[in-house]
């Protein structure tokens, strides 16, 4: 298990066509989000920081590796959940990175909101303001299998 503290570490990501939606959502939820540690990919982080006047930990832009940086932080236990306003109608040049980010979130049992409605439900949960024991999948069998393959 990994303990999520009351102060959550939240990754905020948005494709270009969804940045205005994310900005509006973040402004609406400014007071609640200010109580947490916010991470964002490059361009989104700059926009959020300007709009909110609060510090955002900014990573690379998505196409330059920001999605993968968030994925790495998830694997290292440094992100508690992801708000990712993605555009399902617009092809993305870094689509494999987006899929990898969503996959790693599922692998490590990280809550993910991909639209405003799911983000609203997630942050209005009673778990948002309390500690939470996030269960980690047991990958011991998989790791043993990998070790046996590499030993062969």
Catalytic residues: 67
CB of 13 closer than 8 Å to CB of 100:
no
Residue bearing tokens 């590796």? 65
Residue bearing tokens 């955002």? 56
Q: Which residues contact 19 (CB under 8 A, 6 or more apart)?
A: 43, 44, 47, 85
d(CA 115, CA 138): 29
């Amino acid at each position: 298990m990994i303990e999520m503290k009351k102060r959550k570490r939240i990754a905020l990501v948005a494709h270009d066509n969804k940045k205005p939606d994310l900005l509006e959502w973040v402004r609406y939820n400014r007071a609640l989000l200010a109580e947490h540690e916010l991470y964002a990919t490059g361009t989104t982080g700059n926009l959020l920081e300007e709009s909110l006047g609060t510090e955002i930990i900014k990573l690379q832009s998505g196409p330059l590796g920001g999605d993968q940086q968030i994925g790495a932080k998830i694997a290292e236990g440094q992100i508690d959940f992801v708000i990712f306003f993605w555009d399902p109608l617009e092809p993305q040049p870094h689509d494999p990175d987006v899929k990898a980010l969503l996959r790693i979130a599922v692998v490590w049992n990280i809550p993910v909101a991909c639209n405003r409605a799911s983000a609203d439900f997630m942050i209005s949960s009673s778990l948002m303001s309390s500690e939470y024991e996030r269960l980690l999948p047991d990958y011991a069998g998989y790791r043993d299998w990998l070790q046996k393959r590499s030993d062969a």
